[in-house]
Amino acid sequence: MTPVIRPPAVLVFSWLAALVLLSITVIAAYLPLGAGNTIVALLIAFTKAAIVAAVFMELRRQNGFIITFATAGFFWLAILFWLAFTDYSTRANFPPTINWGL
């Protein structure tokens, strides 16, 4: 088999797209969008991560079994964030009511 050394077009395109997104996110960080700055930064970060995962990590070509393994960590992480923020966002509303005799 003759080796093909030219990079596949989809890789080149994804690489350039990630670099363009990087430029956009840096420019957007300097625009006065208020709370929108964080949302834009995170949306672009997720988009770049999705490009790396789908194209560079070839997840778009994998079967459900591998995808399940790949997303398992994020599933548990979502539970961690959910429970932690349930605690921190409501802690002030539920002050401790039990006096431990101290």
Partner 1 sequence: MPEPQPAAQFAHLPQQHEVAQLGIWTFLATEVLFFGALLLSYAVYRSADPAAFAEAARHTKIAIGTINTAILLTSSFLVAWAVAVVKTGGSRFAAFLLWSAAALGLSFIGLKGVEYAMEYGEHLLPGFGFRYDGPASQSVALFFSFYIVATVIHAIHVAVGIAVFAVIGRRAYQHAYSGSYHSPVIVFGLYWHFVDIVWIFLFALIYLPGRSG
Closer of 80 and 102 to partner 1 (Cβ) = 80
Closer of 3 and 96 to partner 1 (Cβ) = 3
Q: Is 58 left (phi over 0), alpha (psi -120 to 50) or beta?
A: left
Q: How far is the CB of 93 from partner 1 (least distance, A)?
A: 16
The answer to whether 29 and 3 have CB atoms below 8 angstroms apart is no
> Which residues of this protein are in contact with partner 1, per CB under 8 A?
1-5, 7-8, 11-12, 14-15, 18-19, 22, 25-26, 29-33, 37-38, 41-42, 44-45, 48-49, 52-53, 55-58, 65-66, 69-70, 72-74, 76-77, 80-81, 84-85, 88
Closer of 88 and 94 to partner 1 (Cβ) = 88
Q: How far apart are CA 49 and CA 60, in angstroms?
A: 13
Gyration radius from the chain CA atoms: 22
Q: How far is the CB of 97 from partner 1 (least distance, A)?
A: 23
Q: How far apart are CA 53 and CA 66, in angstroms?
A: 12
